[in-house]
Amino acid sequence: MKEILEILEKDARTTPEEIAKMLKKNVSSVKKAIKKLEKDGVILKYKTVINRELVKNDSKNVRALIEVRITPQRGSGFDHIAERIYKFSQVVSCYLLSGTYDLLLVVEGRDIQEVSNFVSEKLSTLDNVRGTVTHFLLKKYKEDGDILKRAERDKRIAISF
State the pLDDT confidence band at 153, using cuts at 50, 70 and 90: low
Q: CA dist 9 to 26, 106, 128, Å?
A: 20, 21, 36
Mind listing the pLDDT tens digit for each residue in 87-127?
Answer: 999 999 999 999 999 999 999 999 999 999 999 999 999 99
What secondary structure does DSSP assign to 5-52, as a single string? HHHHHH-TT--HHHHHHHHT--HHHHHHHHHHHHHTTSS--------G
- Please report the pLDDT score of residue 154 as a whole number: 64
Domain formed by 59-142, architecture: 2-Layer Sandwich (3.30)
Mean pLDDT of the chain: 90
- Please report the pLDDT score of residue 58 as a whole number: 63
- Please report the pLDDT score of residue 23 as a whole number: 94
pTM for this one? 0.74
What are the extents of the domains in the chain? 2-39, 59-142
